[in-house]
Amino acid sequence: MKPNNILGLSHGFLLGHLQSVGLDFPKNISVVAVCPKGMGPSVRRLYVQGKDINGAGIYASFAVHQLAPLHEPIESIVTEVFGMILTLIIFRSLIRWQCYKYLCQQMLQNQLIEQQYEPLHMLF
């Protein structure tokens, strides 16, 4: 990537992998994540629905791993991206938290399924 560009992610798995092998992103780029809060099909369905129904959309968080010198504030860039995916509420976060949250959520969900809890009782 060119210096001062922005690498946008939708989850924190790449950062988790890089750190597990002792690597990181180049320091001359900004790394941000826009993480929709939902499974792929529901994110897509609510995105399409939001194009036709005013006020529809999905929750999301944005996370900043690192910032390189930019021409405009990161909040304005992230706000533009959130507008494109029709997000209703924005949560600030860290990319590594997005990775850990998803991994822990999946482990808990798998354990509940193994214990034969009905999916309707799971609050994810």
Count of structural domains within the chain: 1
Name the H helices within the chain: 13-20, 40-52, 74-84, 95-114
- Cα–Cα distance between 9 and 4 in angstroms, integer? 16
Asked if residue 81 is part of any domain, the answer here is: yes
CATH of the domain at 49: 3.40.50.720
Domain contains 120: no
Residue 106 inside a domain? The answer is no
**56 in a domain, yes or no?**
yes
Return the higher-pLDDT residue of 7 and 45.
7
Domain range holding 75? 6-95
Examine the residue annotation and report whether 17 is marked as an active-site residue of this protein: no
**pLDDT, greater one: 43 or 87:** 43
17: in domain: yes
On the question of pLDDT at 23 being above 90, the answer is: yes
Q: Is there a domain that residue 15 lies in?
A: yes
pLDDT, average across residues 39-57:
71
Token code pair at residue 103? 């991994």
Tokens representing 69 are 């010198």
User: Which residue in 11, 65, 71, 121 is the catalytic one?
Assistant: 11
Q: What is the pTM of this model?
A: 0.58
Average pLDDT over residues 87-111: 61
Residue 22 lies in a domain: yes
